[in-house]
Amino acid sequence: MPTYKAPLRDLRFVYYELFDAESLTALPGMEDAGEDLVMTAMEELARICEEVIQPLNAPGDEEGCRFDQGKVISPKGFKEAYDLLAQGGWTSLICHPDYGGQGLPHHVDIMAGEMLCSSNLSFAMYQTLTSGAYLAIDHHASQELKDYYLPKLTSGEWAGTMCLTEPQAGSDLGLVRMKAEPREDGSYLLTGTKIFISAGEHDMTENIVHLVLARLPDAPAGTRGISLFIVPKRREEGGKLVPNGVTCGAIEHKMGIKASATCVMNFDGAVGHLVGEPHKGMRAMFTFMNAARLHVGIHGLALAEAARQGAVQFARERLQGRSLTGAKYPELEADPILVHPDVRRMLLACRAFTEGARALTAWTTLGIIDAEHHPDPERRQAGDDLASLLTPVVKAFQTDLGFETTNTALQVCGGYGFTRDYGMEQFVRDCRITQIYEGTNGIQGLDLVGRKMPANFGRSLRRFFHPVSEFIAAEAGNERMKEFVEPLAKAFERLQRATGWLAEQSLKSRDEAGAAATDYLHLFGWVAFAYLWARMAKVAMEKEGQEDALFYQAKIATARFFVQRMLPRHSAHFAALLAGAASMMEFPDEAF
């Protein structure tokens, strides 16, 4: 059975050596959030993840959630673990002190989220959704609603969800039919059904705060007529919490994340309150959705990390055959499979992905911090542009490659990996949903090419292109960096060509953008990884000969493996993209 060890050393490297997260202490309100405090906190959370939460992962998958007459019973141990997190203040890391939070920088929550998701994704989702609800309410609700709901979400006493999907309205939220009828006291009565609601019902908190998309009676058609409402499972009446017309009709029986309740939620005249302006609900909900998309990208990274660790453990222990160049462990009856080239290929691919994804996640997160906290308006705008651009890449690229990585890790373990007893197959099943929820990965590609690429006349793209171009120019004469910079430069030049070609072709037909979207996003992802791996190699070279030499040697070696054995995959996406839409769009509908 796989175990988990939090990658604290690599988290420290990414945030405090590759990126200067220590400089965040210069931002207002973050003066005390230095490296020592943050990493000490992460060490304590790592202990909880390793000793309490990860041991619940496989049993939770076996037991799953149970549905009994409208109630959802979580797996054994989940509520106790959730209470432990809440009591320890882990639900309040980035929440504002005005509501009882700790006010820490956003990257602390991201590091914590990765460890929780690696330990037990089903369990972590309950807290992730609550964090998203907190952010949406904090950014868009009235002060009265903030004062009422945010302290309870901060403390972990109440949990949160978002309720978007309906039977006829999945990716196309313009088809939402949930009704909201105004009342004389300023509240609303909501009626309708939502489906696929993660953590819509459970037994871990006394109340659940639903953020619900619905239509007012005078709403225009499409997404322009959607409003956002807070609808609690229980509302306060006479100083007590009473049922509020929100019930769970069923839970889904799923391929993975079985310990996370995915619910059909019925709203029968439930009392709710408007968040923000009428008919402007999508803007408010996107605060939640963008945070959720970043966290789903972390799901892909986290499950890949857990699977990678299991594969490494297996490869060290499993004895099969001898090395192709002669016995490496002659005292044993066979060599561990770690000596075989193809096993090493798979393990290094897993490592190169997880460490690259951790760096891309960090870069995106630091953009969010600048956007929300930096006193310089230009820095705030630049941070927002970068984070907005990279979010669909983090979500889609890291979950596509995350799922691939969990499969690769299972392959290392052979037949044992395929069995339920060993635990590797759960990572594959759990990771599959990450490519679907919070907007399918195809939609992330459309978002990248249709919204982010042309936004503000290409300003967001320049937030990525300029630092990559400047790094390539700066390192052009560095002989030691040549093996990393030249492949990066080649891939980057193709991304620039693809961007220009796509902009031109999209003016002729939107189908061209749709046909190219996934390949463009993957091309973008490979270039982003190449840039970050080159930067990581440079940092590691500068630390050679210092303490922790093996760590830095491994970082350089992994960067070398990435550019030689993985980055060439960008060429296939470039070629496919330039092939255009004709081969798929001219195929007759009736021939499918």
- Count Cβ atoms within 10 A of the Cβ of residue 16 and give its class: 0-12 exposed, 13-18 middle, 19 or more buried: middle
d(CA 458, CA 456): 6
Closest CA to 214 of 197, 230, 198, 199: 230
Active site residue 438: yes
C-beta neighbour count of 253 within 10 angstroms = 10
- Given 166, 201, 438, 512, the catalytic residue: 438
Distance from chain centroid for Cα 535 = 23
d(CA 67, CA 118): 26
Both structure tokens of 181: 């009828």
d(CA 387, CA 365): 7
Residue written as tokens 């690769």? 408
d(CA 362, CA 490): 24
> Which residues have C-beta within 8 Å of that of residue 15, sequence separation ≥ 6?
21, 107, 111, 362
d(CA 317, CA 253): 35
Beta-strand pair 71-73/66-68:
antiparallel
Q: 281 vs 334, 350, 358, 391, CA distance in Å?
A: 63, 40, 32, 20
**DSSP string for residues in 398-424:** HHHHHHHHHHHHHHHTHHHHHSTTTSH
**DSSP string for residues in 354-413:** HHHHHHHHHHHHHHHHHHHH-SSHHHHHHHHHHHHHHHHHHHHHHHHHHHHHHHHHHHHT
Q: Output the CA torsion 490→491→497→501 (10° steps).
A: 150
d(CA 28, CA 40): 22
**Are 8 and 551 within 8 A, CB to CB?**
no
**DSSP string for residues in 78-128:** HHHHHHHHHHTTTT-TTS-GGGT-----HHHHHHHHHHHHHH-HHHHHHHH
> Which residues have C-beta within 8 Å of that of residue 232, sequence separation ≥ 6?
149, 158, 207, 208, 209, 210, 244, 246
Q: Which residues pair with 211 in a beta bridge?
A: 162, 230
Tell me how far apart the 2 most distant CA atoms of the chain are, in Å. 84
Distance from chain centroid for Cα 359 = 13
C-beta neighbour count of 311 within 10 angstroms = 27
- Count Cβ atoms within 10 A of the Cβ of residue 28 and give its class: 0-12 exposed, 13-18 middle, 19 or more buried: exposed
d(CA 308, CA 302): 10
Catalytic residues: 438
